[in-house]
Structure 1
Amino acid sequence: MEKPSPPISDPLHDKPLAGWRLRLYTIIFEADTRAGRLFDQALIAVILLSIAVVMADSVQAVRLVYGHALTSAEWVFTLLFTVEYIARLLCVRRPLKYATSFFGIIDLLAVLPTYLALFVPELHALIDVRVLRLLRIFRVFKLAAYVAEYQFLVSALAASGRKILVFLSAVLMVVLVLGTLMYVVEGQTNGFTSIPTSVYWAISTVTTVGFGDIAPKTDLGRLIASFMMLMGWGILAVPTGIVTAEMAAQRRMHSGQAPTTRTCHECLTEGHAADANFCFNCGARLPPYQQQAGEAS
């Protein structure tokens, strides 16, 4: 007979999430309840408004007229983000793990520049780092309407990473060879002053960017350039095909599973099935799934 699993406990505090911490955690880190969805929607609105303030503040004409209002709005947003950051630290079981995670660092950078500029005026130039708040908009993908697509895309990118790396390595070798060839064919008199400059031209041509600052003058050089332009279309299509194939495989693998934002209390990994008992990332036992009443599938 299987022994009952012990409660989820923190080695530092030896206390599972319960009471107000569990309720706060469910609202902030998950979005399968009405309160959780409202929190995420409000957070997205505040992030977008704060980015609008940062952008407006960078326009001198706007800053001269509305400088005081923009500064006041910035402090309101900073205080809101500070309260949210502290709330996240209070409700997670491992505050240090969250603080050093990707989103934990982004959350800190959302508030730190404003305080640094206040206490150390010499660091005022760092205040533009506030635009990193825009990265926090990725939290919108926790909403039920997007969570499945978000999970499929992330899984597909992770699964196709090596294939894309091999492909990009092959492309790099091609542009090195063709760039060197163009250096030999065109020479310094036609703007291809060095091999690195020629490789730069080859990259901009293969990627169909074509800045136009350097252009081949000889017939052979133009022939090579035409070949590279046509090849560029295929190069752009290959990574798309790789990721698309992986996304299709992920959809087949997870077909029939309703998406959730259920989050592991140990490693903060999202996307567990509603009936899962253990985290698919760290293996920790999951707490009971909390879902809005009347929404169970």
Structure 2
Amino acid sequence: MRQFYYPDSRNTEGIRHKLFHIIFGYQQRNSIIFDMSLVIAILLSVAVLMVDSLNQDYNSLLFRLDWFFTLLFTIEYITRLWVVRDPMRYARSFYGVIDLLAILPTYIALLFPESGIQYLAVIRILRILRVFDVLHMHRYQRETSILIDAFSNCWRKVLVFLVGVITIIIIFGTFLYIIEGPEYGFTNIPTSMYWALISVSTVGYGDISPATPFGQFIASILVLIGYGIIAVPTGIYSAQVYQSLSKQKDGRACQECSLRGHDADAKFCRRCGYELKDISHHETSKDKTKQV
């Protein structure tokens, strides 16, 4: 729990202090029950929205259920603002914004009942990210940092690749617009670019397709190009992940089994459990031995 979330520490027996530890804590039994109940309520509310979109005969029941969950999350959101020491700071945080966006669509739908904006409340599914704290999955923060570090190091390469793909889409889309024309569905260049995009990605919906022999020949070339380049961003990112993993390994060798490649903060060998020595001390001893 972040320090600025704490309520007034002088009143440790008050209802505000107790609610704070139940809502924002994750070690006490009551906190775990609260968080897991919240996750279940979120999943049920999203399921209600999905079923409601089917336009079945029981829309009135689903409408009541949707408002039940909305009011429940509204009370929870107000309670969160009440128990924290700095409500505005929490409201501007990631979870605070998500909590607000989870309830706003239903209220906005009262002003625009035919817009279907209430279905945007499915964004509340993001609230189950709190389960990472409940299940102590924050221990995997290192693995997450590896993926983020890999992306930050290779985004320029991926950007260059995307620019190249967009260039290919523009060129081939224009070709098909000229060759096929509106007669076969290629009514304008943006529509032709849409066809080129789904073709180069090898999806091929089939809603638009060339009919002339020359247009089909161009389409075949584009599909082959798509097969050739579809693995490029995956390869770039995979290579960068491997490099990021290598950076977090050190060169210490276990003095018992000679295994290398341990984590930088490892204290014991992952194979035999022997205590790892400091690399600088180990290398210094080796240098001294060579000099002698």
| TM-score, with length taken from structure 1 | 0.64
**Which runs of structure 2 are paired with 1:212-231 in the superposition (5 Å)?**
212-231=206-225
Residue 131 of structure 1 deviates from its aligned partner by 1.8
The yes-or-no answer on 1:104 pairing with 2:96 is: yes
Contact persistence 1:216–1:222 (CA under 8 A): yes
Structure 2 residue 79 is matched with structure 1 residue 79: no
Aligned partner of 1:5 in structure 2 is: none
**5+ residue gaps, structure 1:** 1-7, 259-297
Give percent identity, aligned residues only: 44
Against the structure 1 CA distance between its residues 63 and 44, is the aligned structure 2 distance closer, same or farther, given a 3 Å change threshold?
same
Relative to 1, partners in 2 of residues 1:122 and 1:59: Cα closer, same or farther, differing over 3 Å?
Answer: closer
Instruction: Tell me the residue number matched to 2:126.
Output: 135
Change in 2 beyond 3 A, CA 1:9/1:213: closer
User: How many angstroms apart in 2 are the aligned matches of 1:247 and 1:48?
Assistant: 33
Contact 1:141–1:150 (8 Å) recurs in 2: no
C-alpha distance in 2, partners of 1:124/1:219? 45
- Is 2:49 the partner of 1:54? yes
| Greater RCO (Cα-Cα under 8 Å, separation 6 or more) | 1
Q: Give the C-alpha shift of residue 176 in structure 1.
A: 0.9
CA contact (8 A) 1:56 1:62 kept: no
- Where does the alignment leave 5 or more consecutive residues of structure 2 unmatched? 249-262, 267-292
8 A Cα contact 2:4 2:86, kept in partner: no
Q: Structure 1 residue 216: deviation in Å?
A: 2.2
Residue in structure 1 matched with residue 37 of structure 2 by the alignment: 42
Alignment check: 8 A CA contact 2:98 2:124 kept:
yes
Equivalent residue letter for 1:208: T
User: Comparing 74-83 with 181-190, which one deviates more in the overlay?
Assistant: 181-190
Normalising by structure 2, we get a TM-score of 0.65
C-alpha RMSD of the superposition: 3.9
Greater shift, 145-154 or 54-63, is seen at 145-154
Deviation at 1:83, TM superposition (A): 3.0
Query: How far off its partner does 1:160 sit?
Result: 3.9
Structure 2 Cα separation of the partners of residues 235 and 131 of structure 1: 35
Per-residue CA shift, 1:152-198, capped at 9, x if unaligned? 44454454433322221121111111222233344454443332222
- Give 1:58's aligned amino acid: S
Q: State the shift of 1:81 in Å.
A: 1.4
Answer yes or no: is the 8 Å Cα contact 1:182–1:198 preserved in 2: yes
Distance 1:135 1:163 in 2: 30
Aligned to 2:160: 166
Larger radius of gyration: 2
Give the distance between the partners of 1:41 and 1:209, measured in 2 at CA. 39
Q: Which moved more, 1:94-103 or 1:25-34?
A: 25-34
Distance apart, 1:109 and its partner CA: 2.2
| Deviation (angstroms), 1:45 | 1.2
Secondary structure at 1:208 match in 2: coil
Deviation at 1:226, TM superposition (A): 1.6
